[in-house]
Structure formats: structure tokens, C-alpha cells
Structure 1
């Protein structure tokens, strides 16, 4: 969202990029309709001529013979056909314009989705106001890019119509043309000013718009609806929503009132001039009766059209100047830093993990979450990471998964920096995060999506599910692995939190060539029996893989080779369960605090 004025050259460059995108959506029939639009731009002029001839013919019917009547009827049929052709053409053109716009909008949505999935993760944390910018691109800028092709074609066609109407009206009186065009000037100036003001306003009001949307979705989103209903939070959320919307509407209504007032003045001027032009035409006919009533009908028909098409041309030019700034905001997506992907990358051959003097702060914050961290995890080692909330555990995992780059220091696998080839790093890893996904799909897809290239039979999937404690979830479903689950399931079949977590664990284990497993709170949503079963199957789940496990429930720590205790962004203890309990420090206190509730 840029408040600086663009140069003419930069505007043309941006508009050219938009046209390339817009042209991608056009099919052969759409191109044919577009090309036919250029000769069809002469239709208004031909209709005006037909009206003039028809009017003159009707005027001359008194005392005329059969031939004159036949001629007038022929003109009437021709005029009717012209109107039908124009109506048909407008219908077809509008159909293809809407179809093209929908295709381009689909492309825009896919482009924004790809951006969100491929940009460096710092943007997800709202670096460079990414969330506001992506929202603006989605709701405002993308539509302007989609309409760019239609806008330029309509502008050219309007220019053709404009020139043809001027040529016709010059036959009546040159002042008719001059006055009609001059009367459009105020509307054109205001259109340019208003479009510029509208853009600046929308960029300034994006915060209110985002917050209003956030409060609205909090009231309706399935993740929060139970709490909203139970605590009766609707009045509070409505107040928050209304407060933000009122701030937005006060500003919007003030601007709208100003625009409406000045547009009304411009329309009043245009209508007054229209009447003046008709009076000029009457005077010309009075001076030269041979012009006939057809001349009046010609001006009556074309004066309004000239005003409309003149306004359309200059308003389109103003729209162009405004829309280019929206387009620039969309193409902001091209300026971001993207992760480099390598589809042919192979996993690491050595799986030793090293953190060397690693420090990290989240984007837009000064607080250092990890401080000069040094740790090495050997291949095949099972490591639990424990600590209080906010101690840096999940940040450690995010850095290991290469979602973020450290501010200083280096993270390695087999001695190689994990950020040199992100695809290689992520093919070596499999992970389940705290906020694991619930995909609106079949259970089979929810599992196999983690390794799309792997070909697995149903028996193999069920065998894996048995090893990671999710077989019961699958067996309970009417269609087994092919049961569609989620909030929008056709049968209303949404899994419980614990069931979803079991599926997420299975998805993590399904990744075939991942020799490092990262499990961030894998038992958070499980009941005690399911948690105990996971502990029993832990060796089967992880196999010989290097395993990094984060858990606030310390019962599982007795199953791992090593425990790293985090406190305030540092590793303060490192050892196995027996050693750390003997030391009697933070880990021992945490373990005893939990154990007392089970004794």
C-alpha cells in the first residue's frame, strides 16, 4: 500500500503486467467477441442515422404514395434490427466479460494462496505488514488486475464511438460538440480526484476493515463458537465489531456525502447543457428548414450518448490512474522473499543435528526468544524438550524445520546448513505441530497428504494406523479410510480433538523417507488411555528415526534417551530422566509437581 505517486513509465509497466495476466483467461470465443466489439462501436452512430432517416421519412408521409410508406417501414425494420443487434451484442459481451473476470479472479486467489504458502515464514508473522497487504491484495487489488483487459478494450471501443459521434454532430453545429465535451470536464476532474482519494482512504482504513472482519469471524468461527455461546460473548463481540465498523462508516459516509454532492452538481451542469444543445439545434433547423425534424432527433439521440461516452473515456483514464496503484499493491507479492524449492532434492544422508551459537527474535519484536543456543543431537537419538510456557521450545522446533532463519548462528544437518536447500531439509523431516491441520477431505487423504509420491495399499495404511494408535478412529467410520471428515462433511462427521490428533500423528509417521521426526505436543488432545497407548507404541512409532519431542506432560520423558530443559531461551539442563531427577533442579521440580497429582 503505497502513498507515493507513480511515474507514467512505471504506470505503463505495471498495467502491462496486468494485461498479460488478464489475457491468460481469454478463450478463443472471448477473443472473437472482443474483436467484434470494435466494429460494434459504430452501432450507436448507425442507430442515430437510422432514427434521423426514419423521422424525416415519417415527416414526409403526408400526401406521399405507397413507395414512401414502404420506405419508412423499411427504415423502421432496419432500426429495430439495429436495436436487437445492439442488445444481443451487449448480452454476449457481458457474459464473456463476467466469465473472463471469474477465471482471472480464480488465478488471483491461487496466486495469493501460493504466495502465502511459499513466502519466507517471517511474513506469516506479519513482517512488512504482510497480513494487511495480502488482505488488501485479495479484497481490492486483485479485482483491478482482473478487470484491466476489459477496461482497456472498453476504452478503445468508447474512443471509436466518441470519434464517430463527433463526426456526425459536426454536421449540425461545431458548438454542439464543443459545449457537450466542455460540460464533461468537471465530472472528469472530480472522477480523477475521487478515485485517488478513494485509494488513499482504503489503504488508511485497512486496519478498521481487518479488525471488523476478525470480530465477525470470532462470532461465527467453529473454533470459537462454543465459547462465544457459553459465555454469552455475542454482545461483547458485537460491540467490538460495531465499534470498528462505526469508525469505518463515519469516514466512509463523510467521503461518500462529499462525492455525491459534487457529482450532483456535475450532473446538473450536464443536463443543463443538454437542453442548451437542443435549443441550438432548434435554432439551426429554424434557420435551415431543409434539415428537417430528423436533425433534431439525431442530436436528441446522440448528445446524451456523446456526453456519456466522453465521461466514460475520461473516467476510464482516471480509473486507470487509480487502478494502477491497486495493481502495484497486487504485484507487491512479486517483490517478497520466497523460499527456494527443489522438487528433485534428496534427503540428507547424515542426520546429526547441530545448533551453533543460534539466537533468534520474531519479526517486528526486539525480544530475543533464543539466546546463543549450542546443542548437538546425534543420529537416531530420542530427545525430549521440556520447559515452561514461553521458554523457547516451539521456537527451537520452528527453526529446526527451517520455517525461520536464525538472526545469528547456524543450524546444520550432517554438517550442512539446513537453509542452503530447504526442500532437502524438509524431505528429511516429518513433523506434527501444536496447531495441526484438520483437512476437509477423506481420512485417507488426511494421512497420505504428507507424502503424495508414496504409493501405499490400504492394508499398509491400516497397519501403520495400528502402530500409531489411530486404527480405532478409522474402524469407527462408516467408509473407513474413505470417510469424508471435517466441519463441512456431507454427513456432518467431524472428528473430536483427540481423534484429529491421532490422524495427525499418523500423517507424520506416513512420511516415508523422513529420518527425523518432530513431535510438538503430540498428546495434548489425547485422553489418558490414548496417551498411555502412545507411550507403549512410542518405539514402534519412531523406529530408528531421530526424534525431537516437545511435551508439557513429562510422563513420556522416561522413554527418551535425553532431555533438554529450556528456560528463558536457554538450555539449562541436559541429560536423561534419572540424571536430571538426581540433580533436583528445574526438571525435577516440574516432574514432581505433575507426579503429585497421580499419587
Structure 2
């Protein structure tokens, strides 16, 4: 039993961290190589050469001092031509070594800058690519935002810094290896003492790094809250309410309290670390005096020359300095690798389905089916859905059947579950229970991209892109996003052409104030979003309450145009206002996450159920 415990401890403490570090370093150098093969090779080579040059300088100084001492001891004419030229040649050679070192140093710094920019670009590309591919359900989890925040917090620069720390340690170890040989000539204990006094510092730094990382993780949500309150206080969206309701001081106070809490915790840990580290570093400094004592004993015994004494003294100083920086870099490597491995790598390896606690495990194969471009028979069989972290179902046992080319209106009060059902039908969420099928194929088996290319949707929480009007609409079909003729047609269908074509710059007008563009009203932004939805020749069209900011007449016109353009395509229109519903082939009414009625306008009126009640309530506002 004890042997098993020892094995488990070794695996946990040694094997697993070693595997983790090796994987991390492999990925790290992969990012470096992608930033430029030659840049990577030159950066690594220059770091190693700088280590050798330092050793060469120390060795050469000793030889030079011995040479000058020989001249002083055996030649009376120090300023003779031959003696002067001999000394000058040694000085020139020493200057040459230093010039070469400086040249390599500047090359190393230049390649570092290039590599840093390249690595930052590649890391951010992978990070944002991953963020656009994780299941939409991840965005319902606070833990996901914590992971994203930690992965995104300067990770591009931090990762390139991690590589440079590793290269710096490699260069420092090369230097230390050469200096060990030089200092050992003074006394064998000298390099041992210098190295030994550094290990307690490494252990202490690593312990502090773990504690600092744990604290940082615990503070992630607090930092996100400070960023949130700061954004509220400085953003345009909240500016009016903050002034009207006088809530600026409240948010400012909350920001300050959280900030001070984070700050005080960080300072306490830092002070605790500095006190311990300072006492250990005193021993490291004291070791220099002990090394000098051993060296003086060696010179007194005639074991070293005056040149060697100078070189070894200089080597001791250099070795202590390099070992100190090596220790510091090792601590930073540990710190950055923890962040790299636990934050960035863990985010990049998110699988989505594994993170969805509400997803029922299944033996279905991976998505590999592609849908043909045609209207589809869409069905939901006993579908339920629970949002991550919630305890109650948002949808309950939904049974739905939409025939190819059918025009369906989905109605219900706010919170009835309409938009959640749409997200499931689009494959943006996966059901907690039940299945959604296209032409009899389980949606889990369908390649998502093949589905999304055939869908055009306008959501109630549509995006406002602060780019040109042409791009705002063209983004609805990325393959045609610069086709101005198609963009004009979509704008006319969505009702946006009426105001875009009145602007001096027309479709080239930048929208939104972020980059000095025109700000739009809520209704204009909605018409832009609806026009974007008309860009794609999709087999499945969805309008998910995008007309809330439009007046009833404009809303009716949008739905009328929408149905006219739909032709024989499957269409789903969602709203809590029911005036447009009679235009549909079938009306589905939802309440509290369930479908409670389904039929035509006339059928549902005769039933005098939920639809009839909604119609009566809403009609009162127009009487």
C-alpha cells in the first residue's frame, strides 16, 4: 500500500507536471515557429551565443591581466613599441569581443520584437477563433467568461515573454556552466556555494507563484466586476440613465470597494513573500564574502595567478548575477507557464459538449452529415432544455413538426421560451432531453456549418456593427458581402434603403459613433439588421422579434415583405405581438416553456384559448 502511495505521489508530483510542461513547451515553440522559422532560429542561436561570449570575456580578462603582469615583471620598458603593440592588440581583441556581443544582443532584441508580434497575432487568432466556435450555451456560464477573461488577459505578450524567459535561462546556464569551470580553479567549493544558496530562493519563488496564481484565479470575477462598473461609468450606452437617475456615485463606490479589496489581498501576499525572500537573499549575498575568503586562501597558497584571481573574482560576481537572474527567470517561467497551461491551453481545448452539464450523453457519431440546399422537414421530439447553472427547465417536452415550405408564426409572452426554441432549432444549443431532426437526421449528426449556410435569421438582440452600411448588410452573406447590387436589393427588402440612399456617402457611410460614424435610431438599426437577414438565399428563414422598435405599420410591412420573399422556403416568425400571425399557414402558441396551442388563426379563435386571450388583451390597446 505504501509503495502504491509512493508511486501515486511520484506520478502526481513529477510525471504529470513533467508531461504538462513538455506539452506546454512544445506548443510554445510551435507558436514561435509559426511566427517565422528564421526569426525563431536566429533568436535561439543569438541567446546561446550571448551565453558563450560572456564566458569568453571573463576568461580573456584573466589571460590579459596575466599577460600585463608578465610584462611588468620581466620587461623594464613598458612603453617600447613591441610591448605597446602587444598590449594594444590584446585590448583591440577584447573590444572586438564586446562589439560582437553588442551586435548579437541587438540582433537578439530585434528578432524578439518580431517574434513577439508574430506570436501575439497567432495566439489571438486561435483564441478568437475558438471563442467563435464554442457552443452558444457556454456563453450562459459565468465560469466561461472567467476562462475567457483569463485566457485573453495579455496572453499574447505573456506567452512570448515565457519563451524569452526560457531562452534567457538557456543562455544564463551556458554562461554559468563556463563560469563554474573558471571559479572551480580558485576552489572547488566556490561554484557549489554559489549554486547551493540559490535553490532555496527557487523553491520560495515557486511557492509564491502558486499562491499568487490561486489568488489571481479567486479574484477573476472581482476584476471582471470592476471592469463592468468602469465600463458602465464610461460607456455611452449607460450615460443617460447614470445622469438622470444619479447612480454614478453608487457604481463608483462599488468599483472602488471591489478594487480596494483586490488591491489589499494582493499587497498582503506580496509583503509576506518579500519578507521571506529578503531573508533568504541575504544568505545569497553573504555567500560572496565566503567565496572571496576561499579565493584569497588559494592565492596565498600560490594556487592561482594574479590574472586568475582577477578573472575568478569577476567570474564570481558574474556567476552570482547570472544565477540570480536565472532564478528570477525560472520563477517567471513557472508563473507564466501556470497561466499559459491553466488559462490559455485549457480555453483552447474546450470541447463544449463536455462542458455542458445539461447535455445528455449519447452514442451518436460525430457530426458528418451535410444538408442539401432545399426546404427541410423539421421536427422536435420531446425536447426539453435547461440553461447551464439553472435548476428548472426553460423548455418542457416540446413536440413540433414543420413541413417543408411551411410558414409558421411562433407566439407567446416574453419569457415563454420562443427564442430558446429557435436557438435549439438552429443547433446553437443542444437539447437537454429529446432530439431535433432535419429530414429525419438527428441534428447532432449534422455538420453545423452545412446547416448554418442554409439559414438566415434576424434576432431580437441583433448586432450593431460599427462599419459601413454596405458591410453591415453584406455580412449577412459573407460570400457576397461586397456585391453592391445584392446589398441594395436586401436593403430595399428590409426597408433600410429609404434612409441609406439619402446619406451623402450612401452605402459607404460608417455607422455608429465609435469611429466617428452616423448614429442611428433603434428603428433604423433594426431595419439594417433585417436587411442583413435578406442577404442570404436560405432554405430556412427566421425572424426572431426583430421589429420591437418599429411601429405596428412598419412591423406589418416587414413581415409582409418577409413572407413575399420567402416564396417556397420554410419560414418561422417569432413575436409577442400577434397582429401579423394571420399571415402564417400555422400559428404555434407557447407559454411557460411549453407549446399550448397550434392551428390556424380561425381555429385558435374558435378554441377561445391562450391565443384568443392574447388577441383580446393586445386589441384593447388599439381601441
Give the TM-score, by structure 1 length. 0.90
Offset, 1:466: 1.6
> Out of 454, 472, 482, which is 2:498 matched to?
472
Deviations 1:111-150 (A, max 9, x none): 12111111222222228x2222222222276655444543
Matches of 1:562 and 1:58 in 2, distance apart? 103
Query: Unpaired runs of 5+ in structure 2?
Result: 1-11, 354-365
> Out of 264, 280, 298, which is 2:311 matched to?
298
Offset, 1:494: 3.2
For 2:376, the equivalent position in structure 1 comes to: 351
Task: Name the SS for the 1:44 alignment partner.
Answer: helix
Aligned length: 591
For 1:381, the equivalent position in structure 2 comes to: 406
Task: Name the SS for the 1:192 alignment partner.
Answer: helix
Q: Structure 1 residues 308, 483: CA separation in 2 closer, same or farther (over 3 Å shift)? A: same
Deviations 1:315-367 (A, max 9, x none): 5555555544433322223543259787x944453423222211111122221
For 2:275, the equivalent position in structure 1 comes to: 261
Offset, 1:403: 0.7
Are 1:418 and 2:472 matched, yes or no?
A: no
Offset, 1:52: 3.3
> Out of 114, 126, 131, which is 1:111 matched to?
126
Q: Structure 1 residues 29, 407: CA separation in 2 closer, same or farther (over 3 Å shift)? A: closer
Q: Is the contact made by 2:54 and 2:175 (CA closer than 8 Å) also made in structure 1?
A: yes
Matches of 2:502 and 2:444 in 1, distance apart? 42
Q: Structure 1 residues 493, 72: CA separation in 2 closer, same or farther (over 3 Å shift)? A: farther
Matches of 2:173 and 2:166 in 1, distance apart? 11
Matches of 2:570 and 2:329 in 1, distance apart? 62
Matches of 1:319 and 1:455 in 2, distance apart? 46
Matches of 1:535 and 1:176 in 2, distance apart? 86
Matches of 1:200 and 1:48 in 2, distance apart? 42
Q: Is the contact made by 2:126 and 2:348 (CA closer than 8 Å) also made in structure 1?
A: no
Task: Name the SS for the 1:385 alignment partner.
Answer: strand
Equivalent positions of 1:151-550 (< 5 A) are 151-288=165-302, 291-292=305-306, 294-329=307-342, 330-337=344-351, 345-421=370-446, 422-454=448-480, 457-489=483-515, 491-512=516-537, 514-528=538-552, 530-550=554-574
Matches of 1:456 and 1:341 in 2, distance apart? 31
Task: Name the SS for the 1:297 alignment partner.
Answer: helix
For 2:105, the equivalent position in structure 1 comes to: 90
Q: Structure 1 residues 277, 185: CA separation in 2 closer, same or farther (over 3 Å shift)? A: same
Task: Name the SS for the 2:445 alignment partner.
Answer: coil
For 2:92, the equivalent position in structure 1 comes to: 77
Task: Name the SS for the 2:32 alignment partner.
Answer: helix
Offset, 1:235: 1.8
Are 1:44 and 2:69 matched, yes or no?
A: no
Are 1:65 and 2:79 matched, yes or no?
A: yes
Q: Structure 1 residues 264, 566: CA separation in 2 closer, same or farther (over 3 Å shift)? A: same
Matches of 1:347 and 1:220 in 2, distance apart? 48
Q: Structure 1 residues 457, 405: CA separation in 2 closer, same or farther (over 3 Å shift)? A: closer
Offset, 1:426: 1.9
Which segment is superposed worse, 323-332 or 557-566?
A: 323-332
Matches of 2:199 and 2:426 in 1, distance apart? 60
Are 1:12 and 2:13 matched, yes or no?
A: no
Q: Structure 1 residues 296, 226: CA separation in 2 closer, same or farther (over 3 Å shift)? A: farther
Matches of 2:304 and 2:163 in 1, distance apart? 46
Q: Is the contact made by 1:18 and 1:327 (CA closer than 8 Å) also made in structure 2?
A: no
Task: Name the SS for the 2:550 alignment partner.
Answer: coil
Give the TM-score, by structure 2 length. 0.86
Q: Supply the RMSD in Å over aligned alpha carbons.
A: 2.9
Q: Is the contact made by 1:440 and 1:488 (CA closer than 8 Å) also made in structure 2?
A: yes
Which segment is superposed worse, 92-101 or 452-461?
A: 452-461
Q: Is the contact made by 1:116 and 1:124 (CA closer than 8 Å) also made in structure 2?
A: no
Q: Is the contact made by 1:442 and 1:484 (CA closer than 8 Å) also made in structure 2?
A: yes
Matches of 1:230 and 1:543 in 2, distance apart? 48
Query: Unpaired runs of 5+ in structure 1?
Result: none
Which segment is superposed worse, 154-163 or 18-27?
A: 18-27
